[in-house]
Amino acid sequence: MTIGESPARVGSVEKALGRARFGSDQGEPGDLFLVCVRADQAPATIEALELDRALAVPGVVRIFTAADIPGEKLLGIIPVTKDQEFLAENIISHRGQAVALVAAETEGAARKAAQAVELRLSALKGVFDHREALAENAPQVHAGRPNGNLMARRVIRKGDFESALNTCAVVHEAEYTTSFIEHAAMETEGGRAWIEDDRLIIKACTQNPHYDRGDTARFLGLDPDRVRMIQAETGGGFGGKLDVSVQPYLGLAALLLKRPVRMVYTREESFIGTGKRHPFLMKCVTGADSDGRLVAMKMDLSADTGAFASYALAVASRAAVHATGPYYVANVEIDCRLAYTNNPWAGAMRGFGVPQAAMAHEGQIDGIADKLGMDRLEIRLLNALRPGQETATGQVLTQSVGIVECLERLKPVYRTWLSEVGPDSASGRGVGVGAMFYGIGNTGVSNPSTARLEWTPDGRIILFTGAADIGQGSDTVLRQIVGARLNVDPERIDLVRADTDFTTDAGATSASRQTYISGGAVLEAAVALEEMIFSEFEDLMEADRGDLEMAAGRVWVKGSPNGAISVEEIVQSLAQRDIRAVGEGRFDPATVALDPETGQGVPYATYAFAAQTAMVEVDKLTGEVQVKRVAAAHDVGRAINPKCVEGQICGGVMMGVGMALMEEYVPGRHANFENYHIPTIADMPEIDPVIIVEAPEESGPFGAKGVGEPALIPTAPTIASAVGQAVGRPMRHLPISLERVMDAVTGVNDEN
């Protein structure tokens, strides 16, 4: 049994020794190097694109423009909203958009030539604020859209908000904002492409190889069968490697030049040329009864999706669906709108709008608690979803609802810290608490994963999965699932991963879905393989099917281990009849699409839950905030690999510290880590305890759900709650910078 144990991560030794070859490490001597020419002004019309000077740079082989694209010019992750020009044809929609692609013999020549391309633009009137973008007469980011700049909208209606609000003993009204955030994955985007047997092969870092193949093939006008996408080791993604980045460029150049090419974004290109987290403005009205029970909640959410749609539809839905938090609220009115602007495009980032929405629902519940003089954790416990209750979308949760246990187990830590800090905030210290729920998998749509498992006649067990391990540990976890089911050491299982020639689509490494959904597919493949092996054993040994056992590569009839034969013999017996011992699996969680008018439906088959508490110390004289301690309780259903779960939680908390205190991407101001701050290890709190709650999910492999995004979601609101307690004023705007703390301390911009 290997479930609940933490074997060493697949590939950890190679990474520790620096032997792993990431996307940005790909390449061979003689490869051409690719560099994009990017516009530094937007919106604008391209008046002229002069290449002569650049083509004269020694070493330049060719410069591609939109006119060279053989296939579809518009790409995008969601099939119905493909709107992104990878090489702008006439209009520059956002600063940093590429207009040409240089291929040269060396990186130096390519960069020099990119500088030498003469791009003449004439400025257009743009819009850079998502509220202004939705005003009448706002400049249109994309001409001819019936909805203008409104990119995505999700509405949720349940009960009767207005009448319910009138019955409330206490009403809290407030506004919250969050900022653009850069993913800042350690590895920038990079990869290599070449032609082999008239087929295009691309090896790049990615979270989504099977999608990459499809969109790259469209871009190039190729049949997808003529493109092979291989995921290179990927140094982090956090959603930033879900959209395609270098893949279409690599494909275009390799295909048209018939030469191997490589491309690696500089940190600056990674900042200005890829998606960001959506900044949100959230206006909330929440009503509760005199006991603190939430009765009515209204939220007006709006966000900036920048120049392109990317995952806007998903973010709009997720933010809306989760806007009430892990609480039962009978009367809900939520309106979430995402607008196009001429800012850099925003896309997927760890949590898809839910970390932003969590700032609002957690701020609101703190506001109600404070108005009623209630304890902040107790009010969450009172309102926490319990089995049998409905979410805002009318989904009745029947099992695997671990929020109460998360809060209960966190309570002693929270109480101890509160008593350490003391009731008054003279010490500058504060304790906060925050909670969240998060639907696993894509929202209200089919999002299957598939897997294949083979036991070869020479005794190898090979797992074929399209799931991209980007550092989160799916390679390790999926092998553990197979190992547990087939009773073999996971180390024995060979892995063929994320290579479209050999693996089937597992869907994206996103939405915290790989353990639950790909884990489900892998488990089903193992069941199918076991079935095949048992049934062959039956035929061979004339044994009774119901009584078989398998372990360590041997099969026997229960109680007669002496009559065991090896799986190899069974597989060889199948092979004699030209039958391969292969199990295939597919898992697609059951969902019901959200109603477009009311938002009612079953968006996810299961939800993860979590609560965190934090102790902060605020220097009220300088505005500095130090997060001293964080404790985290996460319901993951079942921890297949507890160390991986803890790793995700610690990483999520770290990212949450950044979101809470320092991360804010300002287009045009930030282009690298010189002035864009993410937390260092010196900024990290002690994270202790990490409490793993296991409310098993019936449909999950061994009861597992997911943790990747949930790890991050409660952290920023928890820290905001703690800082608010320390300074005596709510902190509703992220990041909680030196300036915002000083404003709170001195009473500037006081909303109360």
Partner 1 sequence: MTTKYLAARNVEEALAGLDDGAKVLAGGTDLMVHLRRLRLCGAGLPEYLVDVTGVPELNRLDMDADKPFLGAGVTFRRLERDAAVARRYPLLAQAGAVVGSLQIRNLATIGGNVANASPAADGLTALAALGARAEVVSSNGVRHIPLEELIIGPNTTCLVPGDLIVGFKLDRPPEGSAQRFYKVGRRRAVVIARMNLAVSLDREMTDPRLVLGACFPSPRRMTEVERLLASETPGPELWREAGRMAAEQFVQVCGWRSSAPYKVPAVANLVSRTLESTWAELGVAG
Residues that bind partner 1 (CB under 8 A): 108, 111-112, 115-116, 266, 268, 621-624, 626, 661-662, 674-675, 677, 679-683, 737-739, 742-743, 746, 748
Write the Ramachandran bin of 652: left for phi over 0, alpha for psi from -120 to 50, otherwise beta. alpha
Helix (H) or strand (E) holding 154: strand 150-158
Q: How far is the CB of 443 from partner 1 (least distance, A)?
A: 34
**Which residues lie closer than 8 Å to 290 by C-beta, 6 or more apart?**
169, 170, 372
Which lies closer to partner 1 via its Cβ, residue 573 or residue 672? 672
Alpha helices by DSSP H, listed for 429-513, are 474-486
Looking at the chain, how many residues does it have? 752
Q: Around Cβ 459, how many Cβ atoms within 10 Å?
A: 13
Q: How far is the CB of 463 from partner 1 (least distance, A)?
A: 40
Q: How far is the CB of 35 from partner 1 (least distance, A)?
A: 10
Q: How far is the CB of 112 from partner 1 (least distance, A)?
A: 5
Which lies closer to partner 1 via its Cβ, residue 28 or residue 674? 674
* DSSP letter (8 states) at residue 128: -
What DSSP assignment string belongs to 85-106? ESS-SSEE-STT-EEEEEEESS
Which lies closer to partner 1 via its Cβ, residue 35 or residue 482? 35
Strand order in the sheet with 150-158: 150-158, 331-340, 294-306, 280-288, 170-177
Q: How far is the CB of 30 from partner 1 (least distance, A)?
A: 21
Angle between helices 209-220 and 247-257 (to 10 degrees): 50
Which lies closer to partner 1 via its Cβ, residue 370 or residue 624? 624
The β-bridge partners of 123 are 44
Q: For 325, how many CA atoms within 13 A lie in the half-sphere containing its CB?
A: 33
**Which residues lie closer than 8 Å to 419 by C-beta, 6 or more apart?**
none
Specify the 3-state DSSP secondary structure of 295.
strand
User: 429-439 and 560-566 as β-strands: parallel, antiparallel, unpaired?
Assistant: unpaired
Q: What gap in Å lies between CA 700 and CA 603, rounded to an integer? A: 16
Write the Ramachandran bin of 90: left for phi over 0, alpha for psi from -120 to 50, otherwise beta. alpha
Q: How far is the CB of 662 from partner 1 (least distance, A)?
A: 5
Q: How far is the CB of 614 from partner 1 (least distance, A)?
A: 16
Which lies closer to partner 1 via its Cβ, residue 524 or residue 617? 617
Q: For 345, how many CA atoms within 13 A lie in the half-sphere containing its CB?
A: 29
Specify the 3-state DSSP secondary structure of 731.
coil
Q: Which amino acid belongs to residue 419?
A: S
Q: Which two structure tokens, joined as six digits, stand for 379?
A: 């009010």
Which lies closer to partner 1 via its Cβ, residue 527 or residue 742? 742
Q: How far is the CB of 58 from partner 1 (least distance, A)?
A: 13
Q: How far is the CB of 623 from partner 1 (least distance, A)?
A: 6
Q: How far is the CB of 685 from partner 1 (least distance, A)?
A: 11
Q: Which two structure tokens, joined as six digits, stand for 575?
A: 């092979």
Q: Which two structure tokens, joined as six digits, stand for 736?
A: 């909680």
With tokens 């919106």, the residue in question is: 43
Which lies closer to partner 1 via its Cβ, residue 54 or residue 220? 54
Q: How far is the CB of 418 from partner 1 (least distance, A)?
A: 25
SS (H, E, C) 738-751: HHHHHHHHHCCCCC
Q: Which two structure tokens, joined as six digits, stand for 306?
A: 């920048």
Q: Which two structure tokens, joined as six digits, stand for 468?
A: 């991209």
Q: Which of 179, 86, 123, 134 is nearest to 340 (CA)?
A: 134
Which lies closer to partner 1 via its Cβ, residue 45 or residue 746? 746
Which lies closer to partner 1 via its Cβ, residue 640 or residue 720? 720
Q: How far is the CB of 746 from partner 1 (least distance, A)?
A: 6
Helices and strands (DSSP H and E) totals, the chain? 18, 28
171 φ/ψ angles, rounded to the nearest 5 degrees: -130, 135
User: 170-177 and 280-288 as β-strands: parallel, antiparallel, unpaired?
Assistant: antiparallel
Q: What gap in Å lies between CA 487 and CA 425, rounded to an integer? A: 56
Q: How far is the CB of 673 from partner 1 (least distance, A)?
A: 8
Alpha helices by DSSP H, listed for 99-208, are 107-116, 130-133, 161-166
Which lies closer to partner 1 via its Cβ, residue 83 or residue 107? 107
Q: How far is the CB of 178 from partner 1 (least distance, A)?
A: 17
Asked whether the CA dihedral 515, 518, 521, 522 is positive or negative, the reply is negative
Q: What gap in Å lies between CA 428 and CA 725, rounded to an integer? A: 9
Which lies closer to partner 1 via its Cβ, residue 671 or residue 707? 671
Helix (H) or strand (E) holding 450: strand 449-455
Q: How far is the CB of 379 from partner 1 (least distance, A)?
A: 32
The β-bridge partners of 50 are 118
Burial 476-492 (b: 16+ CB within 10 A, else e): bbbbbbbbbbbbbebee
With tokens 């969902």, the residue in question is: 591
Q: How far is the CB of 724 from partner 1 (least distance, A)?
A: 19
Which lies closer to partner 1 via its Cβ, residue 232 or residue 627? 627
Q: Which two structure tokens, joined as six digits, stand for 548?
A: 């078989």
Q: How far is the CB of 425 from partner 1 (least distance, A)?
A: 17
Specify the 3-state DSSP secondary structure of 419.
helix
Q: How far is the CB of 742 from partner 1 (least distance, A)?
A: 5
Which lies closer to partner 1 via its Cβ, residue 49 or residue 467? 49
Which lies closer to partner 1 via its Cβ, residue 116 or residue 704? 116
